[in-house]
Structure formats: C-alpha cells, structure tokens
Amino acid sequence: MMIRSERPANRCIDSGTIDTRFGALTFDNGQPTPESVEHLAQMLTFSRAVEIYQHNAAAVAMFRFRQGLANCGIRQTCQVVIWKTVTATSENVYVCNFLDLKNGPVVVDVPPGVVGMFDDMWQRPVGDVGRAGPDGGKGGKYLVLPPGEEHGHDWPGYFVLRSPTYGVWMLLKPVDPEPLRAVQRFARLRIFALSQAAVAPAVQFLNRSDGPIDTSAPADYRYFEQLGQLVEQELAEAVTPLERFHLSQIGMRFGERFLPDESMKALLAEAAVVGGAVRRMNWHRQAVGRMLDNSGQ
C-alpha cells in the first residue's frame, strides 16, 4: 500500500525565493539553500539573544552591583557598605553587601530592630529579615547555605536559608527614625563564614552615601560578556533546564568560560541594542496602560 501526502497549495515552496520580513529565503526542491540555512540560523540565534536580554536583566544588574561594590573596596564577606538616603520627609540608612558562599555557609548575626532581605544573583528571594522574617524583629543568627548543601543537616540556633546561587545580595535597614541611633544599631552586626564562628572577624563599614553605582543593563556587548561571567561562576541548577537550554544556544554554559568568536560578538552587540529597545517599549506600554487605567478610559 502506498501512502501519499498532498501538500496544500501556498503552504510550502518546492523551488524559488520568497521574501520575508527577515529577508529573502531561497529553496531548492523543498530544502533551503546553504545560504538560507545560514540566514535562518542567524535569525534564530539573534531572536534568542534578544529574549535572553529580556529575561536576565536582573542577573546582570546584580553582577554589576557586586562589581561596583568591589570597586569601592567591598571584597570580603565581613565588609559592608552604608548608604544614607535623604528625602523631603525622612532619612534612611541602609547596609548591604554580597555574601560569597563558594567556600561554604555564611552566618549573618542580625541585631534587633532591623528589617531586610536576602536575594540570589537573579534577584529571586532567598529570605526576609525582621518583622517579615523568622526572627520577628528580635534579631538572630541567619545561616545562608550554598547550593548543593546537605538538606538533612540540623542547624540548631540558626534561621536557615538556602540559596540557589553562590552569590547572595544582603540589604538591611534599621527601624529607627533617628539616623545616629540607626547607625549605632549596626554595631552588633556580624557577618562571617561558618568555619570562622569561633574567631569571627569584626564587620568593616564603608560609607558610600555620596558614591553612585551603575547597575543598569548596558545596551551593547558588555551585557552578554557580564552575563557570561556570572554563568561561569554559578552552578547549572541556578536556573531552570529551559533557561539553561536558551543560554546554551548563544554559547553560554554554567561553569565554563564564555568565548564567542568575533561574528557572535557582533551579533550579540546588535541583539543588546534591540533588547534594550524592547525593554523600553515594554516600559512605555505599561506606563501608558497605567495612565489609561487611572483616567478611566
């Protein structure tokens, strides 16, 4: 018995050239020519790169934030930066740094009357501090475990948090309207590796209230270069299997150096420009939508 499949008219092309918004595509006996294959592959890679730009902006912002703190001198777990923000009605003091879990768990001994949070390198919540956290505003020792740490271990005396990434952003704020008292509250703050619990070093504070740090996503090749460095530093389990697959399509693999050739660098640089434009378009649409909602239209 012979089975034949009839191809509907205008659904495919045997031979010839068709014009698309992505350029001309040429087919020979139903198959794209080598030139069209290359063109389509470039189109798919470019589209994937633009998509990756959208989905990893938070991670690149975290990478740039950590890099900015390192440039200010914050390079060790026990070092933190202080920021004081002043508005027309209030003054607020913040303390932040990035925990490095590469060498094992880190302890953060938080004083009473402090609120804050821990986020991973993709800006996903790891845990809250203060009234919204397990200490309830009374303070306590937070033990932040790295990815892959044994789950069955018992840690008495600690509020245990588990991070999917080695890098963890910490932001703390004292609940006190008086700035001087707020700063003094941090005198009891301790941050140290669990292995140093017996001889925990004192926290070193660096005031950067007058020093800006650029965390914006660059609209050029640097975006993918910095994302590649972050991916190299983290474990594959930091993201979902689908996200790992997407990153692999532009040559990024966890635990490996990102080494694109010059042709790929040029493609990624252009994708960053388009990706940045798409982000601004999304912001514009959201802003217009909110204005229409508020106006009742």
pLDDT tens digits along 205-241 = 888 777 778 888 899 999 999 999 999 999 999 999 9
Nearest to 43 by CA among 289, 270, 224: 270
The per-residue pLDDT for range 161-178, each reduced to its tens digit, is 999 999 999 999 988 777
- Tell which CATH architecture fits domain 74-207: Sandwich (2.60)
Question: What pTM value is reported for the model?
Answer: 0.86
pLDDT at 23 > cutoff 60: yes
Most confident range, picked from 89-103, 113-127, 165-179 = 113-127
pLDDT at 97 > cutoff 80: yes
Highest CATH level, class, for 217-292 = mainly alpha
Task: Indicate if the alpha-carbon torsion angle 289, 294, 295, 297 is positive or negative.
Answer: positive
The per-residue pLDDT for range 239-292, each reduced to its tens digit, is 999 999 999 999 999 999 999 999 999 999 999 999 999 988 887 777 656 665
CATH code 2.60.40.1610 region(s) in the chain: 74-207
Residues 6+ apart with CB under 8 A from 283: none
Alpha helices in the chain (DSSP H): 34-55, 57-71, 179-185, 222-233, 241-248, 262-295
Q: What is the pLDDT of residue 24?
A: 85
